[in-house]
Amino acid sequence: MITVALDLSCTICGHSRFTLPVGQDDGDSVHCANCTAYKCKAMDLERALMATLPPSMPAVPASSGAAQAVPA
Ligand SMILES: [Zn+2]
């Protein structure tokens, strides 16, 4: 498991840190890192995050072009 801060909040305690499965033994569920309440399936996480974004915001990872290397 890894613990990450997401743009989601736990429906139980309002926490915004969640544990994500990283191995086969971890299952496929995302849980609140604070109260361990079930949040969603890991495969649905991207969709859940997208749902929190305003419609006008392109859902592109910030690293996909904003951080291009500049020749010295
Ligand atoms: Zn919680």
Residues 34, 44: Cα–Cα separation, whole Å: 20
Distance 17 CA to ligand 1 centre (A): 8
How far is ligand 1, taken at its centre, from the CA of residue 58, in Å?
28
Task: Report if residue 9 sits inside a domain.
Answer: yes
Number of domains in the chain: 1
Tokens 């949040």 found at: 39
* Percent of the chain's residues with pLDDT above 70: 75
In a domain, 62, yes or no: no
6 pLDDT band (50/70/90 cuts)?
Answer: very high
Nearest-angstrom CA–CA distance, 22 and 52: 23
- 2 CA to centre of ligand 1 in angstroms: 16
Q: Is 60 inside any structural domain?
A: no
* Domain assignment present for 21: yes
The range of the structural domain enclosing residue 6 comes to: 2-50
pLDDT over 90 percentage in the chain: 49
Q: How far is the CA of 19 from the centre of ligand 1 (A)?
A: 11
Dist. CA 65 → ligand 1 center (Å): 34
